[in-house]
Structure 1
């Protein structure tokens, strides 16, 4: 991937807040968010369970939780933290978490602390409307970032978030993405992302790359780690997750948006990857409309 493509990390800031737990012990279970969470722990400590793995959040550290990660939160008395909720993407439709190796925990510097505080100052309108994720997640999709009158705010905000996000990057993928992207595969990622409601074949994608189907499939898997068919399925499932979490759309309508041919097939594939059926997933993690 060319450096100018990577530098175009697209950021949507959903929430920025600073919360202190003075007297209460707060627990939220089975939370799955369609955005990425970034934390700076100013004081105190807390515990998260991410996909059955226990993570202790320690004072003076930064943490990142990618979108669609199943979490249980245990906020202890004395916990004081800054955080932001963001959606990250690359212009070609590739998930940045797919391209980079990400550290979940890094030591915060004085600059990192300043950056979190500055972002909080810049966005008093993006504080949580409620501490319950089932409340604030359902209200987040009605508004978008509006910087039309404040380009300076956009530049400063995105610069801050990019600096903080960069702290978590362990390294760029060692997989041969340069070889893959030499054949204009950026446009193929973009095509997949924007045509999930239609039939997409590997033959069709290979023709767009001016390669044979076998050669294209082999290069794709070498670069991305999975084959094109698997990649398409995962993209369809991620869109389905998003719709299950943020809308009350009937399952049949979700099939139309993701092009799973039958409800039985959709349910089988969804359960294979997520351990439960789409209906159970929605009941466990749904936003309360």
Structure 2
């Protein structure tokens, strides 16, 4: 498990402080990035992952990437905010590896860490707090250039603080700790899937890769990951397609091919089943204010 986490990279997009009132009222927010909040004063509400969170002073809040959410402030609140891009190379999402608690009491030094990130990364605050204005058409090159412009010392400190704050929310691995060999095998399989989403992948192929029978492999995968292999693969394909729709100008046919669908019509049907709308409709809706 920890070996997989060694490949985790957190890239800062925005860090800032905001005083917000009733204008902080947004629905159907879909973000390709992770968000972390520290509430300094007042109250507000966020709904995501089928839960409603009442934002309270002195608490940290996590909103995972690719999670639909709603925000609402009835009166007034003040927040420090971080948005960052999390990546695991071509491996599985970090959100598939661990369970998370989305609301945690801030530790004594956490407010300092937010303020320190602001010092290390001036000019990275949002100019418009409407997520539709800043979140749905990421310009990764611009953000990466800002990160590359940091000194080596500031870059390392920034990454260390992001990792530390992110760690506050991690509870335990989704992959069972029932044996080092099993953990390694499941980690290898998840990496294999992530690296080969553009290819045809089926349960027999994965079972052969693991030197296991098809039935035993499928049962083991479900036990350790919490979902059967085929639904997992399909969900990962659609998640990757959503990222490509938001971050590239690739055609729908190109994106379908990059996530393992040879037939564009079938890709569109599967995508709509998962996302509730067609790939083209998804892209238009999410990028309309980009």
TM-score (norm 2): 0.86
Larger deviation: 223-232 or 130-139? 130-139
Distance 1:139 1:208 in 2: 36
Cα distance change of structure 1 residues 149 and 286 upon mapping to structure 2, 3 Å threshold: closer
Q: Map Cα deviations across residues 222-259 of structure 1 (whole Å, 9 max, x no partner).
A: 21112222221111010111123334543222212212
Cα distance change of structure 1 residues 103 and 197 upon mapping to structure 2, 3 Å threshold: same
Q: Map Cα deviations across residues 119-153 of structure 1 (whole Å, 9 max, x no partner).
A: 12111142225333233232432232644762222
Name the SS for the 2:128 alignment partner. coil
Task: Identify which of 125, 128, 140 aligns with 1:127.
Answer: 125
Residue 28 of structure 2 corresponds to 30
What is the aligned length?
A: 286
Cα distance change of structure 1 residues 159 and 250 upon mapping to structure 2, 3 Å threshold: same
CA contact 1:33–1:69 (8 Å) conserved in 2: yes
Q: CA deviation at 1:208?
A: 2.8
Cα distance change of structure 1 residues 158 and 168 upon mapping to structure 2, 3 Å threshold: same
Task: Identify which of 99, 105, 108 aligns with 2:106.
Answer: 108
Distance 1:180 1:123 in 2: 41
Q: CA deviation at 1:111?
A: 0.7
Q: Does 1:73 align with 2:65?
A: no
CA contact 2:9–2:86 (8 Å) conserved in 1: yes
Q: CA deviation at 1:115?
A: 0.9
Cα distance change of structure 1 residues 280 and 52 upon mapping to structure 2, 3 Å threshold: farther
Residue 42 of structure 2 corresponds to 44
Q: CA deviation at 1:117?
A: 1.1
Residue 197 of structure 2 corresponds to 196
In the alignment, structure 1 segments of 5+ residues that lack a partner are none
Q: Map Cα deviations across residues 74-106 of structure 1 (whole Å, 9 max, x no partner).
A: 245532111111222345712222222211111
Q: Map Cα deviations across residues 135-177 of structure 1 (whole Å, 9 max, x no partner).
A: 3232432232644762222221121112111111222336357
Instruction: Please give the residue correspondences for 1:55-70 in structure 2 after superposition, counting only pairs within 5 Å.
Output: 55-70=53-68
Residue 18 of structure 2 corresponds to 19
CA contact 2:8–2:86 (8 Å) conserved in 1: yes
Distance 2:197 2:70 in 1: 31
Name the SS for the 2:273 alignment partner. helix
In the alignment, structure 2 segments of 5+ residues that lack a partner are none
Residue 278 of structure 1 corresponds to 279
RMSD: 2.6
Larger deviation: 224-233 or 30-39? 224-233
Q: CA deviation at 1:59?
A: 1.4
CA contact 1:5–1:91 (8 Å) conserved in 2: no
